[in-house]
Structure 1
Amino acid sequence: MNRRMGTRLGWAVLAGAAADLAGLGLIAAAAWLITRAAEQPPLAALSVAIVATRAFATGKGVFRYAERLTGHDVALRAQAGTRERLYEALIAPRPPRHGGADLLSRMVDDTEAVQDLLVRCLLPAAAAAVTAVAAVGIGLFVLPVTALVLLAGLAVAGVLLPAVTAAATRRWAARIAPARAALAGTVADLVHGSADLAAYGAGERALEQARAADEALASLERRQARVHALALAAGTLAQGLTVAGIVLLAQASGAGTVATAVLALTALVSFEPVLPLAAAGERLAGITAALRRLKEVREAPAAVTEPPAPAPLPRPPYTVEVADLVVRHAPAGRDGGLPPAVPRAAVDGVSLTLTPGRRVALVGPSGAGKSTLLAALMRLVEPESGSVRVNGVDVRDLASDDVRTLMTGLTQDPYIFQTTLRDNLRLAGPDAGEERLREAVREARLEQWADRTGWDAQLGEDGRTVSGGQLQRLALARALLYDPPVLLLDEPAEALDEETADRLMADLLDVTHGRTTLLVTHRLRGLEGVDEIIVLEEGRVIQRGPHERLVAEPGYYRDLWESEVLTRR
Structure 2
Amino acid sequence: MYALRRLVAAGALGAGALGCAVALLATSGWLISRASQQPPVLELAVAVTAVRAFGLGRGVLRYAERLVGHDATFRVLASLRSRVYARLERLGPAGLPAFRRGDLLARFVSDVDQIQDRYLRVRLPIAVAVVVGGLSVLGAGLLLPAAGAALAVALLVAGVVVPWLTVRTAARAERETVTDRAAMTAGVVELLQGAPELIAHGSAHGRLVALDALDRRLARAAARSAVAAGVGAGLTALATGGAVLAALAAGATAVDAGRLDPVLLAVVVLLPLAAFEAVTGLPAAAQSLVRVRESTARLNEVFAAEPPVAAGTGTPGSPFPLVLSGVSARWPGASRPALSDVDLRVEPGRRIAVVGASGAGKSTLAAVLVRFLDPSAGSFTLAGLPVDKLDPDAVRRLIGWCAQDAHLFDTSIRDNLRVARPAADEPELWAALAAARIDGWVRSLPDGLDTPVGERGAQVSGGQRQRLALARVVLAGFPVVVLDEPTANLDPVTADALARDLLAATEGRATVLITHRLAGCEQADEVVVLDAGRVVQRGTHEALLAVDGPYRNWWDRERRTDAWLSATGAPERVGD
Same fold (TM over 0.5): yes
The answer for the alignment partner of 2:569 in structure 1 is none
Check whether the contact 2:319–2:398 (CA below 8 A) recurs between aligned residues.
no
Give the Cα separation in 2 of the matches to 1:413 and 1:505.
15
Check whether the contact 2:435–2:505 (CA below 8 A) recurs between aligned residues.
yes
2:136 aligned with 1:135: yes
Check whether the contact 2:404–2:487 (CA below 8 A) recurs between aligned residues.
no
> For residue 246 of structure 2, what is the amino acid of its counterpart?
G
The answer for the alignment partner of 1:160 in structure 2 is 161
Q: Once the two structures are superposed, what CA deviation does each residue of 1:372-429 show, in whole Å capped at 9, x if it has no partner?
A: 0111112211212111122222212212111111222212432222332211211111
Aligned to 1:536, the other structure's residue is in SS state strand
Check whether the contact 1:389–1:395 (CA below 8 A) recurs between aligned residues.
yes
Give the Cα separation in 2 of the matches to 1:28 and 1:449.
79
2:526 aligned with 1:554: no
Q: What is the root-mean-square deviation in Å for CA atoms of aligned residues?
A: 1.7
2:516 aligned with 1:527: no
Check whether the contact 1:143–1:250 (CA below 8 A) recurs between aligned residues.
yes
Give the Cα separation in 1 of the matches to 2:75 and 2:363.
40
Q: Once the two structures are superposed, what CA deviation does each residue of 1:325-378 show, in whole Å capped at 9, x if it has no partner?
A: 11123445xxxxxxxxx32x2111111211111100000000000110111112
Cα drift, residue 189 of structure 1 = 2.2
Check whether the contact 2:370–2:401 (CA below 8 A) recurs between aligned residues.
no
The answer for the alignment partner of 2:572 in structure 1 is none
Check whether the contact 2:3–2:73 (CA below 8 A) recurs between aligned residues.
no
2:475 aligned with 1:481: yes
TM-score, normalised to structure 1, is 0.94
Give the Cα separation in 2 of the matches to 1:487 and 1:331.
28
**Candidates 318, 326, 329, aligned match of 2:328:** 326
Give the Cα separation in 1 of the matches to 2:131 and 2:271.
14
Cα drift, residue 82 of structure 1 = 0.8
Structure 2 residues without counterparts, runs of 5 or longer: 564-576
Check whether the contact 1:121–1:281 (CA below 8 A) recurs between aligned residues.
yes
**Candidates 41, 59, 67, aligned match of 2:39:** 41
Aligned to 1:409, the other structure's residue is in SS state strand
Cα drift, residue 542 of structure 1 = 1.0
Q: Once the two structures are superposed, what CA deviation does each residue of 1:6-47 show, in whole Å capped at 9, x if it has no partner?
A: 211111111111101111111111111111111211111111
2:512 aligned with 1:518: yes
Q: Once the two structures are superposed, what CA deviation does each residue of 1:229-273 show, in whole Å capped at 9, x if it has no partner?
A: 111111111111111111122112224542221111111011012
Give the Cα separation in 2 of the matches to 1:238 and 1:512.
77
**Candidates 28, 52, 55, aligned match of 2:26:** 28
Check whether the contact 2:173–2:222 (CA below 8 A) recurs between aligned residues.
no
**Candidates 464, 484, 494, aligned match of 1:490:** 484
Q: Once the two structures are superposed, what CA deviation does each residue of 1:87-134 show, in whole Å capped at 9, x if it has no partner?
A: 110111351211111011111111112211111111111112221122
The answer for the alignment partner of 2:567 in structure 1 is none
Cα drift, residue 463 of structure 1 = 2.6
Give the Cα separation in 2 of the matches to 1:563 and 1:73.
66
Note closer, same or farther for the CA distance 1:262–1:294 as it changes in structure 2 (3 Å cut).
Answer: same
**Candidates 373, 380, 383, aligned match of 1:381:** 373
The answer for the alignment partner of 2:171 in structure 1 is 170
Aligned to 1:92, the other structure's residue is in SS state helix
Aligned to 1:111, the other structure's residue is in SS state helix
**Candidates 409, 421, 435, aligned match of 2:427:** 435
Check whether the contact 2:474–2:506 (CA below 8 A) recurs between aligned residues.
no
The answer for the alignment partner of 2:283 in structure 1 is 278
The answer for the alignment partner of 2:298 in structure 1 is 293
2:55 aligned with 1:63: no
Identity %: 40
Which shifted more, 512-521 or 488-497? 488-497
Give the Cα separation in 2 of the matches to 1:209 and 1:110.
23
Q: Once the two structures are superposed, what CA deviation does each residue of 1:428-473 show, in whole Å capped at 9, x if it has no partner?
A: 1111111111122222233244341642334433333333333222
The answer for the alignment partner of 1:338 in structure 2 is none
Matches within 5 A, 1:71-470: 71-94=69-92, 95-96=95-96, 97-254=98-255, 255-307=260-312, 310-313=313-316, 315-316=317-318, 318-332=320-334, 342-343=335-336, 345-451=337-443, 452=445, 454-470=448-464
Give the Cα separation in 2 of the matches to 1:284 and 1:135.
26
Q: Once the two structures are superposed, what CA deviation does each residue of 1:513-546 show, in whole Å capped at 9, x if it has no partner?
A: 2211111012212221110111100011111111
Give the Cα separation in 2 of the matches to 1:12 and 1:89.
30
Give the Cα separation in 2 of the matches to 1:53 and 1:402.
65
Equivalenced residue count is 554
Give the Cα separation in 1 of the matches to 2:478 and 2:343.
22
Cα drift, residue 317 of structure 1 = 6.9
Check whether the contact 2:338–2:532 (CA below 8 A) recurs between aligned residues.
yes
Give the Cα separation in 2 of the matches to 1:251 and 1:513.
98
> For residue 144 of structure 1, what is the amino acid of its counterpart?
P
Give the Cα separation in 1 of the matches to 2:562 and 2:328.
37
Give the Cα separation in 2 of the matches to 1:442 and 1:222.
61
Check whether the contact 1:371–1:412 (CA below 8 A) recurs between aligned residues.
no
Aligned to 2:305, the other structure's residue is in SS state coil
Give the Cα separation in 1 of the matches to 2:104 and 2:434.
37
Structure 1 residues without counterparts, runs of 5 or longer: 333-341
> For residue 283 of structure 1, what is the amino acid of its counterpart?
S
Check whether the contact 2:381–2:387 (CA below 8 A) recurs between aligned residues.
yes
Check whether the contact 2:324–2:380 (CA below 8 A) recurs between aligned residues.
yes
> For residue 233 of structure 2, what is the amino acid of its counterpart?
L
Give the Cα separation in 1 of the matches to 2:451 and 2:156.
62
The answer for the alignment partner of 2:15 in structure 1 is 17
Give the Cα separation in 2 of the matches to 1:390 and 1:104.
35
